[in-house]
Structure 1
């Protein structure tokens, strides 16, 4: 019997129809020959609540009218140029920004769905702006604290 099974025990010590989850009570009922009804509850002992909205389903189908936004190809080229200028491999850059090498590869190939936090990490790592009007310009140094 697993944790999520519910057992109804008709026993002298328990009121009629009482639900018992402990092994001791169930085994005691079995020894006395009491009627035991076992039911498995669907999804019990899980903390997952799957939520699928209509928009999520549409995005997954990726129709022509509603598609995932992909990273522009020119941004991928800028990432590659900045990385090569510093003599880093994709793995080195991924390690520096605490991401997987696959993420850097997808960003460079323009296949990634843009995440502003990851783009900010890459900007700081290669020292080049990747967003806004002045893409490809050197990143301004952070202001000095007083």
Structure 2
């Protein structure tokens, strides 16, 4: 490391101070306090959302009203009764257990169980794998 001077570090403390309140803010406080001492009526307004990242309260009441008026039940599609029966029949004809069928299509046995019990959310890729493994058509017109 020829040519580089000695490495030095500056160990002097650095003091960072918060900015003092401005003169205008102090003046306003003095004026308000003087008015209070004189007996004048002072009206103060508290801003409830000041300094927060929240929207005004009127928009939240609109959102809650929309949610209250919402009548649609939002649920995921489940496997139809016809599909789960078709999967079970085709699997029984091939003499496969749920675990064996899952291994053939390279999925977890729990997925086959969910499809046959009707709890699964239909996935076209998995249904396609089942069709190829079982050699039968499971979706569309038979």
Q: With structure 1 as the length reference, what TM-score do the two structures score?
A: 0.49
Q: CA RMSD in A?
A: 2.8
**Taking structure 1 as reference, are residues 13 and 33 closer, same or farther at Cα in structure 2, changes over 3 Å only?**
closer
Q: Which residue among 100, 117, 130 is the counterpart of 1:122? A: 130
**Taking structure 1 as reference, are residues 67 and 121 closer, same or farther at Cα in structure 2, changes over 3 Å only?**
same
Q: Give the drift of 1:33.
A: 9.5
Structure number with higher strand proportion: 1
**Taking structure 1 as reference, are residues 126 and 69 closer, same or farther at Cα in structure 2, changes over 3 Å only?**
same
Query: In terms of Rg, which structure is larger?
Result: 2
What's 1:71 paired with?
79
Q: With structure 2 as the length reference, what TM-score do the two structures score?
A: 0.51
Deviation per residue, 1:58-109 (Å, 9 max, x gap): xxxxx85221000101111110100000110000000000000000000011
What's 2:97 paired with?
89
Q: Which has the higher contact order (CA 8 A, sep 6+)?
A: 2
Give the 5 Å matches for 1:49-64: none
1:132 matched to 2:140? The reply is yes
What's 2:29 paired with?
none
How many residue pairs were aligned?
A: 82
Partner SS state of residue 87, structure 1: coil
1:104 matched to 2:116? The reply is no
Runs (5+) with no aligned partner, structure 1 = 1-11, 15-31, 36-62, 135-146
Question: 4+ residue stretches of structure 1 with deviation over 2 A?
Answer: 32-35
Partner SS state of residue 115, structure 2: helix
